[in-house]
């Protein structure tokens, strides 16, 4: 398989970036997008050029660090899939790929395809935790949790904080991310006590970090690789009120 790649290159956030075009050939259909960039980087290094900077870690769809927009779709066109699980066979009907970083003011470009998502960390620091006394771990069965609540908490906790919801939102809103973090603790008795304070603090930090407000476009849930439900936003709004 042969492809023409248009890859976003940017030295740093203060510099103006642009797309650079590269030709790649004889690519196996089972090659992932990240492996494709690895192969391209080998060629660039051999030519004495700078390698393309991009984020990655587990390459198993767990960590969410592989944050790329491919042909306008965060993580690629497949539903419920991270970039590292996107393969060239998924683009067998296309020969041009436009690869760029998350587009959001709150996610400034570090270099090329890598962006600074530490704003998410600061949102978590503002309330994404439970205040409890430290010491020996309590028995797992000492606090009973209803099955329905535990299932919903687990579903919300699936959020990997990749930022696809922000990248796809016209307002660059992080409401789905905040909603998931607030909801998964609220559905548990240990976290329910601080719900209102947590929701207000995390929502305010989201605004302070420059993320936009939710305008009910609903693109976020569709782009989410873990398919976080919009009901976490409904729960967040209910708690904040």
Query: pLDDT value at position 151?
Result: 97
Categorise residue 159: left if φ over 0, alpha if ψ from -120 to 50, beta otherwise.
Answer: beta
Tell me the whole-structure pTM to 2 decimals.
0.94
**pLDDT for residue 138 is more than 80:** no
* Helix locations, the chain, DSSP H: 33-46, 118-125, 147-157, 164-168, 175-186, 189-192, 195-208, 219-223, 231-240
pLDDT over threshold 80, residue 19? yes
Structure tokens at 182: 């607030």
Cα 16 to chain center, whole Å? 24
Q: Which residue blocks in 140-192 are alpha helix, DSSP H?
A: 147-157, 164-168, 175-186, 189-192
Residue 141 has pLDDT above 90, yes or no: no
Q: Domains plus CATH for the chain?
A: 3-100 (3.10.20.30), 118-240 (1.10.1060.10)
Q: What is the DSSP code (8-state) at residue 162?
A: -
The pLDDT of 110-120, averaged and rounded, is: 98
Q: What is the pLDDT of residues 35-58, one digit of tens each?
A: 999 999 999 999 999 999 999 999
What is the per-residue pLDDT across 180-230, written as a single tens digit (0 to 9) for each? 999 999 999 989 999 999 999 999 999 999 999 999 999 999 999 999 999
Q: How far apart are CA 115 and CA 138, in angstroms?
A: 39
Higher pLDDT, 74 or 241: 74
């Amino acid at each position: 398989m042969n492809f023409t790649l248009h890859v976003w290159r940017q030295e740093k956030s203060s510099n103006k970036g642009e797309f650079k075009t590269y030709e790649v050939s004889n690519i196996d259909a089972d090659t992932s997008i990240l492996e494709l960039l690895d192969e391209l980087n080998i060629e660039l290094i051999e030519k004495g050029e700078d390698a393309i900077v991009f984020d990655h870690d587990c390459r198993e769809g767990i960590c969410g660090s592989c944050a790329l927009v491919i042909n306008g779709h965060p993580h690629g066109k497949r539903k419920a899939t991270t970039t590292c699980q996107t393969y060239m066979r998924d683009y067998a009907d296309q020969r041009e790929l436009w690869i760029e970083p998350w587009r959001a003011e709150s996610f400034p470009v570090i270099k090329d395809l890598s962006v600074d998502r530490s704003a998410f960390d600061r949102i978590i620091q503002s309330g994404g935790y439970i205040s409890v006394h430290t010491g020996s771990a309590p028995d797992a069965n000492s606090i009973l949790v209803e099955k329905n609540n535990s299932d919903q908490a687990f579903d919300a906790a699936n959020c990997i904080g990749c930022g696809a919801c922000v990248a796809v939102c016209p307002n660059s809103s992080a409401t789905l991310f905040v909603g998931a973090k607030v909801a998964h603790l609220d559905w548990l008795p240990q976290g329910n006590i601080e719900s209102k304070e947590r929701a207000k603090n995390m929502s305010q930090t989201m605004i302070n970090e420059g993320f936009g407000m939710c305008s009910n476009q609903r693109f976020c849930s569709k782009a989410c690789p873990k398919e976080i439900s919009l009901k976490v936003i409904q729960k967040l709004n209910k708690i904040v009120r």
